[in-house]
Amino acid sequence: MRTDADVVIVGAGPCGLTLANILGLQGVRTLVLEERDTLIDYPRGVGLDDEALRTFQSIGLVDKILPHAVPNQILRFFDAKRRLLAEMAPPDARFGWPKRNGFVQPLVDAELYAGLDRFDHVEVRWGHRMQNCVEDAEGVTVEFSTGQPPVRTRFVVGCDGGRSTTRRLMGVSFDGTTSSTRWLVVDVANDPLGHPNSEVGADPARPYVSIAIAHGIRRFEFMIFADESDEAASDPAFVRRMLAQRVPYPDKVEIIRHRVYTHHSRIAGAFRKGRLLLAGDAAHLMPVWQGQGYNSCIRDAANLGWKLAMVVKGQADDALLDTYDVERRKHARAMIDLSTLVGRVVSPTNRRIAALRDKVIHAANIVPSLKRYILEMRFKPMPRYQQGVVVHDEHRAANSPTGTLFIQPRVDTRDRQNVLLDDVLGTGFAVLCWSNNLRAVLGEDAFALWRSLGARFVEARPMTQLHWTGHDDPDVVVVGDREGALKKWFDVYTDSVLFLRPDRCIAGACIAQRAPEMSASIVKVLRLVQGGGTGSHGDTGAVLHVAQPAAESSGTVAGTP
């Protein structure tokens, strides 16, 4: 079939641009369509988490993005008397990056866009507003309202926001609620406060938010009451009155822009319908309270990108794409619910309810375990896939790490020191074991199959054994456990062989003797096709077996009984 692109992405926002970079790195012909003439130039998201930075690391752009971020940002919640209710200052960086980071979205989005210049097979077309998609057995024809010739593609991914045209054309519902409460957001330059952190004022008189972004930009947000119209809230005098509650000289504040907005808690009825898929705000919207809207978009791209690439390159059946909805829906729903709950806790305007909330939270702070729970953000739902491209070892159902993200400590190799683990694992699949002969553990057939998919093989060792050559294999990279984090991880879970997906989720974990059968089970849920594609090593010697229905393995795939 002649196509203009293998994948068309509708929308050049953070989700679409990240997905385009992921596909670009995989050699997938990608076309990004955007109805605007340029990138949006005003800040929307203001917080990056460790998972998003890890994804930006995987696409080779994190060093370009970090200059626009404020790492290790503390978030403090205050009551009406400015007594500290709670503080979030998570200390660990188990995934290689700080958990909380303020950032300037337009500048980060610009770096994502500039990253596409690396790929001759990725194109962005501005001023293209999709009007219709006509799907047939071989692909999709994308038609435009602005008179441009139609585009032919194999798959369309709608990253076109909460008012998604793609979602409408799919005929998919957008279930949930829209809050009746409105907020005035004001972005200012030359930060009049100047400190690097952020705060939420849970003041029933007027709840507010103050967030340090980066480069001297600060965001203020103020709740708008029912008797205050959007027009009144947009009046410059009203904006200055709001700022006067937080800064001594509001008339001297340099306002970049201000807007009135509402909070949405919505999720699409389906993330996939045939050759059309949804990602980012087109798939889900959530209140801003946990700063997870932007980060959830990046998670979507990280989950979907490698699966699309495998299908397009003929390595996997397109049933693999069903696992995107299976895996992302539950976590997106959990983030929506958490953000909605935090908003309800923070923003009551009834003084009695607010006073009761304050007493409960102050009491909880007396209990060290509860205080750590909040301080370290342990309440944040982490991805944990029970279904999808995962195989849970029936011999170790309890305390299994399968379906979770693997840690990213710093390691040494024989020619590099103090590097992040993902930089050793690469951007594709990886098989990692603790201090063992990985080729012997897997067996030649399984080793060759994973090698044909471009997988990296990594043997982790104590630093004392880094330069021992007894297990040397030209296809296995030896890393030294520089900080002891890998040993601690294996101490907890006891599994010694891990099959890692490109998004660094653990697809399967087992003891060494069960590695061959675990490998075979994961191959089944990957829906690999006979002779489909090659990996980065270029091998074609290993035959890829056609996946059997998931019910025949210990994993599950959407759409199978």
pLDDT at 434: 97
**Is 412 annotated as contributing to ligand binding?**
no
**Is 466 annotated as contributing to ligand binding?**
no
**Is 14 annotated as contributing to ligand binding?**
yes
> What is 23-89 written as a DSSP string?
HHHTT--EEEEESSSS---S----EE-HHHHHHHHHTT-HHHHGGGEEES--EEEE-TT--EEEEE-
**Is 15 annotated as contributing to ligand binding?**
yes
**Is 66 annotated as contributing to ligand binding?**
no
What's the whole-number mean pLDDT along residues 9-32?
Answer: 98
pLDDT at residue 92 above 60?
yes
**Is 277 annotated as contributing to ligand binding?**
yes
pLDDT at residue 287 above 60?
yes
**Is 26 annotated as contributing to ligand binding?**
yes
Rounded to whole angstroms, the Cα distance separating 256 from 83 reads 30
Domains and CATH numbers, the chain: 410-552 (3.40.30.10)
**Is 9 annotated as contributing to ligand binding?**
yes
**Is 426 annotated as contributing to ligand binding?**
no
**Is 31 annotated as contributing to ligand binding?**
yes
**Is 32 annotated as contributing to ligand binding?**
yes
pLDDT band for position 367 (cuts 50, 70, 90): low
Query: pLDDT tens digit string along 54-89?
Result: 999 999 999 999 999 999 988 888 988 888 888 887
Residue 499 CA: distances (Å) to CA of 431, 477, 511, 526? 5, 15, 12, 12
pLDDT band for position 348 (cuts 50, 70, 90): confident
Collect all residues with Cβ–Cβ distance below 8 Å to 462 and sequence separation of at least 6. Answer: 435, 480, 481, 487
> Angle formed by the axes of helices 293-312 and 322-346, to 10°?
180
pLDDT at 554: 34
**Is 424 annotated as contributing to ligand binding?**
no
**Is 332 annotated as contributing to ligand binding?**
no
**Is 20 annotated as contributing to ligand binding?**
yes
**Is 18 annotated as contributing to ligand binding?**
yes
Rounded to whole angstroms, the Cα distance separating 400 from 276 reads 34
Q: Which helix (H) or strand (E) holds 265?
A: strand 254-268
Rounded to whole angstroms, the Cα distance separating 29 from 24 reads 7
**Is 267 annotated as contributing to ligand binding?**
no
Closest CA to 280 of 308, 313, 307, 305: 305
Rounded to whole angstroms, the Cα distance separating 322 from 559 reads 7
**Is 12 annotated as contributing to ligand binding?**
yes
Closest CA to 72 of 41, 48, 108: 48
**Is 115 annotated as contributing to ligand binding?**
no
**Is 288 annotated as contributing to ligand binding?**
no
pLDDT at residue 507 above 90?
yes
The sign of the torsion formed by the CA atoms of 422, 426, 18, 21 equals positive
pLDDT at 560: 32
Query: pLDDT tens digit string along 210-266?
Result: 999 999 999 999 999 989 999 999 999 999 999 999 999 999 999 999 999 888 889
pLDDT at 558: 33
pLDDT at residue 555 above 90?
no
**Is 30 annotated as contributing to ligand binding?**
yes
What's the whole-number mean pLDDT along residues 123-133?
Answer: 95
Query: pLDDT tens digit string along 416-446?
Result: 999 999 999 999 999 999 999 999 999 999 9
- Rg of the Cα atoms in the chain: 25
Query: pLDDT tens digit string along 525-552?
Result: 999 987 665 443 333 333 333 333 333 3
Q: Which helix (H) or strand (E) holds 322?
A: helix 322-346
**Is 161 annotated as contributing to ligand binding?**
no
Residue 419: strand pairing partners: 411
467-506 as b/e: b if 16+ CB within 10 A: eeeebeeeebbbbbbbeebbbebbeebebbbbbbbbbbbb
The 3-class secondary structure across 389-444, one letter per residue, is: CCECCCCCCCCCCCCCECCCCEEECCCCCCEEHHHHHCCCCEEEEECCCHHHHHCH
Q: Which amino acid is at 346?
A: V
**Is 425 annotated as contributing to ligand binding?**
no
**Is 312 annotated as contributing to ligand binding?**
no
| Average pLDDT score over the chain | 88
Closest CA to 130 of 55, 239, 268, 31: 31
**Is 139 annotated as contributing to ligand binding?**
no
**Is 272 annotated as contributing to ligand binding?**
yes
**Is 29 annotated as contributing to ligand binding?**
yes
Residue 210: strand pairing partners: 199, 220
Report the side by side order of strands in the sheet with 430-434. 476-480, 456-461, 430-434, 497-500, 506-510
**Contact assessment for residue 283 and residue 300, using Cβ atoms and an 8 Å cutoff:** yes
Collect all residues with Cβ–Cβ distance below 8 Å to 120 and sequence separation of at least 6. Answer: none
**Is 16 annotated as contributing to ligand binding?**
yes
**Is 6 annotated as contributing to ligand binding?**
yes
Rounded to whole angstroms, the Cα distance separating 505 from 542 reads 24
Query: pLDDT tens digit string along 186-219?
Result: 999 999 999 998 998 888 899 999 999 999 999 9
Rounded to whole angstroms, the Cα distance separating 13 from 418 reads 34
DSSP β-ladder status, 151-158 and 276-278: parallel
Rounded to whole angstroms, the Cα distance separating 17 from 38 reads 13
H-assigned helices in 158-243:
165-170, 230-233, 236-243
pLDDT at 360: 78
What's the whole-number mean pLDDT along residues 346-374?
Answer: 73
**Is 194 annotated as contributing to ligand binding?**
no
Residue 32: strand pairing partners: 9, 124
Rounded to whole angstroms, the Cα distance separating 181 from 344 reads 11
* DSSP at 221: E
H-assigned helices in 404-544:
421-425, 438-442, 444-452, 485-493, 515-525
**Is 201 annotated as contributing to ligand binding?**
no
Rounded to whole angstroms, the Cα distance separating 530 from 507 reads 21
pLDDT band for position 383 (cuts 50, 70, 90): confident
Decide: helix, strand or coil at residue 460.
Answer: strand
**Is 7 annotated as contributing to ligand binding?**
yes
Query: pLDDT tens digit string along 24-47?
Result: 999 999 999 999 999 988 767 888
> What is 115-176 written as a DSSP string?
HGGG-TTEEEEES--EEEEEE-SS-EEEEETTSPPPEEEEEEEE---TT-HHHHHHT--EEE
**Is 329 annotated as contributing to ligand binding?**
no
**Is 542 annotated as contributing to ligand binding?**
no
Residue 76: strand pairing partners: 87, 199
Give rounded-to-5 percent helix, strand, coil for the chain: 35, 25, 40
DSSP β-ladder status, 254-268 and 284-285: antiparallel
